[in-house]
Amino acid sequence: MQEELKYERTMNDRKLLMRLFVYMKPYIGNYILGIILMTIVVGLDILSPYLMSLSLAELGKEQIIFSKVVMLFVISLITILVMHIVQYYQTMLMHKTGNKIIYKIRLDIFNHIQSLSHHQFNEIPVGTLVTRNTSDTNVLYQLYTNVIVNMIKYVVTIVGVFIAMMLLNYKLGLIILAIFPLIVVLTIVFKTVVRRVHRKVRTEVSNMNAFLSENISGMKTTQIFNQEKKKYLEFSNANNNLKKASLKEIMAFGLYRPSIYLIYILTVILILWTGGNEFVNFTLGITTVAITFYELYAFYQYILKFFNPIQSLADQFNILQSSFAAAEKIFKVLDIEPEIKDSEDAIDIDLKGEIEFKDVWFKYTDNEWVLKGVSFKIVPSEVVAFVGATGAGKSTIIGLITRNYDIQKGQILIDGIDIKRIKLASLRSQIGQMLQDVFLFSGTIEENIRLNDPRITEEEIIKACDEVNASHFINKQKDGIKAIVGERGNNLSLGEKQLISFARVIVHKPKIMMLDESTSNIDTETEVLIQDSLEKVIKKNTMIMVAHRLSTIQHATRIYVFDHGRIIEYGNHQELLAKKGRYYQLYRLQYQRHNNK
C-alpha cells in the first residue's frame, strides 16, 4: 500500500519501550501496586509446595500428630485462598489501567488523523487508518494489561523457584542452572524471528482492511459494471497473503513451545534419575547424603513451577512481539508530520471577507502546475464566480482559501493578512462550504446541521432550514429534524442532501461562503430552491461560486474564466458576453444544448 511504502521503517525495542512508557507514566502507581500484589502471589505460590511437603512428611512419621497435620493443611489452604484473592484484585487493577491507556492512545491517533492534510489523506488508505485505531490498539491492550506485569511475574517466579530449589538441594539445582542457557538461546532466536513475522501480519491486516473499506464503499460501482468476480479474486489474493503471514506466525510459535516442553521433559528425567539414585543409595546405606521422598516430591513440584512460567513466557513473547509490531504501525501514523499546520506567530482574526491572490502558483504533484500565476482580489460581501473546463483550477482555489493545501509560490491574503499567519481553526470556523459531493454522518438531520456545536439552538436550525427551503421535505418526515439520516445520507436524495448541506452552512453564520459545483448533480426543482435561497443570503457575506451551469452565476458581481490554470478573462455576465471570448463560447454551447432538449 502507499502508506506502507512511504512511511515504512522499523524502530528498535528501546525506542518503542520508551514511547510506550510515556502512556504508562500517569498510571505508574497502579503498576507498582500491581507488581507488589503480583510478588505476593508469587511468594505464596512458591510457599505452597513446601507446606504440602511438610504435611506429607508428618503423615509419613511413625507417630502422627494429627493436630499438626491439620494445622499444616489449613495453612496450605489459606495460602492458596489468599493467593487467588490477591491475584483477582491485581488482574482487575491491570485491566482497568490498560483500558484507560488504550482510551488515551485512540484519542491521540484520531486527533492526529484529523490534523492531516487532504493531500496526506489521498496517500494513506482509509482502511489503514481504521486498522491503526482499532485492531492495532486492541493488540496493545494485551501489552498494558497482561504482558508487562506477567513477564515480571514469570521472571520473579523463575528466580524465586530456582533459589528455593538450590536451598532444598543444591546438586539438583545445578542441573537446572546447566540447562538454563539453552532456554535463553532458544528464546532469543524466537524473539528475532517472531518479531519479523508479526510485522508482516500487521501489514497484511492493514492491507486487508484498506481493501474492504474501499470496495465495500464502492460496491454499487462494482455491481453496476459486473466486476464481482474480479473483486472476489483480488480479495482472495489479499486474504491469501494474510493467511500465509498468519501461518508463519503459528509455525514460529509452534516450534518454540514444543522445544521448551522437550527441555522440560529431559530436565524432569535428569532430576528424577539423579534424585532417585540418591534416595535409593541413602535407603540402602550406600551414601550418607540424604534426600527424602518428600523433598524429591517438593523438588518435582518446583520443576513444574519453574518450567510453567518459561512456557508461559512464550505466550507473552508472542504477544509482546505482536504488540511491538502494532506499536510500530501506530507510531508511524503519529509520526507523520501534518503538512498544513499553524505557524508559531499564527493569530486569531475576525474575518471581514476580503480575499486576495498574488501571483499564486500551485501543484498537487511535481509533474504539473494546476495554477499558474493567478492574481485577483475579492472585496467583502462581493459575489464572485469561477468558471472553466474541468481541470482548469477552479475548485483548487476553494481548497487553497481554506488551506486544505499550501501554495508553492505567491501569496494569499485574507483581510490583508497572509493566510499562513491565521490559525486554521479561526480561518475555517468562519468559512462555509457547499460541495458537489455532500457528506452526511449517521445520526439525525439536526445533528448533521449542528455538527456538535452546542451554541446552535434548535430554533436556529429550524430557521436555517426555512431559509434554504429545506423545510418542505423535512416537515414531511415523521420526526422532522429528528429524523434519522442513514450512513452517508443513503436514505435521502441528492437534492435533499444538498439542502441539508446548505442549512449547515447558513446556521454556522460564515463570513465567507463558497459553493463548489453545488447544483451540478441535482434536479431542476432543487436548483430553483437553492437559487431562491442564495438570493436571500447574497450581500450578507462574501460569496464564491464554482459552477458549470452558467445560469446559476449570472447574478455574480464578477466572473473569472479559467483555462489551464490561468485567468484568461473576467467581468460580469453581460461584459463577458460582449467580449465574445471563452465565456461567450461556453454560454452559447450550454444555451444550444438547453434548446435542443
DSSP 109-174: HHHHHHTS-HHHHHHS-HHHHHHHHTHHHHHHHHIIIIIHHHHHHHHHHHHHHHHHHHHH-HHHHH
| Domain presence at residue 282 | yes
Q: Are residues 186 and 301 in the same domain?
A: yes
Measuring CA to CA, which residue among 564, 524, 181 is closest to residue 363? 564
Cα separation, 106 vs 127, in Å, equals 15
We report the CATH number of the domain holding residue 369 as 3.40.50.300
Q: Are residues 132 and 270 in the same domain?
A: yes
Cα separation, 476 vs 257, in Å, equals 66
Cα separation, 445 vs 503, in Å, equals 10
Per-residue model confidence as pLDDT tens for the chain (597 residues): 344 434 444 677 788 889 999 999 999 999 999 989 988 988 888 777 777 767 766 666 666 677 777 787 788 888 889 989 999 999 899 999 999 999 999 999 999 999 888 888 888 888 888 888 988 899 899 899 988 888 888 888 888 888 887 877 777 777 777 888 888 788 777 777 777 787 788 788 888 888 888 888 788 778 877 888 988 999 999 899 989 888 887 887 777 778 877 887 887 787 777 766 665 555 555 544 556 666 667 777 777 777 778 777 777 777 887 888 889 889 989 999 998 999 888 999 999 999 999 999 999 888 789 999 999 999 998 999 999 888 888 989 999 999 999 999 999 999 999 999 999 999 999 998 888 778 888 889 999 999 888 889 999 999 989 888 888 888 888 888 998 998 778 888 888 888 888 889 888 889 999 988 766 666 677 777 777 777 776 667 899 999 877 877 888 899 999 999 999 999 999 999 999 999 999 888 877 655 555
Q: Are residues 350 and 277 in the same domain?
A: no
Measuring CA to CA, which residue among 399, 428, 409, 367 is closest to residue 119? 399
Q: Are residues 326 and 363 in the same domain?
A: no
170-217 helix and 293-334 helix, angle to the nearest 10 degrees = 30
| Domain presence at residue 267 | yes
Contact 110, 126 (CB under 8 A): no
Q: Are residues 262 and 380 in the same domain?
A: no
Look at residue 579 in the predicted model and tell me its pLDDT: 92
We report the CATH number of the domain holding residue 31 as 1.20.1560.10
Last residue of a domain, one of 272, 304, 334: 334
| Domain presence at residue 79 | yes
Q: Are residues 104 and 6 in the same domain?
A: yes
Last residue of a domain, one of 305, 334, 363: 334
Q: Are residues 38 and 124 in the same domain?
A: yes
| Domain presence at residue 475 | no
| Domain presence at residue 553 | yes
What is the residue range of 69's domain?
2-334
Q: Are residues 311 and 413 in the same domain?
A: no
Contact 530, 368 (CB under 8 A): no
Look at residue 593 in the predicted model and tell me its pLDDT: 59
Look at residue 266 in the predicted model and tell me its pLDDT: 83
Q: 492: part of which helix (H) or strand (E)?
A: none
Q: Are residues 245 and 379 in the same domain?
A: no
Cα separation, 526 vs 500, in Å, equals 12
| Domain presence at residue 186 | yes
Q: Are residues 562 and 414 in the same domain?
A: yes
Look at residue 591 in the predicted model and tell me its pLDDT: 72
Q: Are residues 256 and 354 in the same domain?
A: no
Q: Are residues 231 and 374 in the same domain?
A: no
Contact 206, 131 (CB under 8 A): yes
Query: How many distinct structural domains can be found in the chain?
Result: 2
Last residue of a domain, one of 302, 334, 366: 334
Look at residue 597 in the predicted model and tell me its pLDDT: 53
Look at residue 519 in the predicted model and tell me its pLDDT: 64
Q: How far is CA 516 from the centre of its chain?
A: 31
At 387, is the secondary structure helix, strand, or coil? strand
| Domain presence at residue 477 | no
| Domain presence at residue 492 | no
Percent of residues in the chain assigned helix, strand, coil, to nearest 5: 65, 10, 25
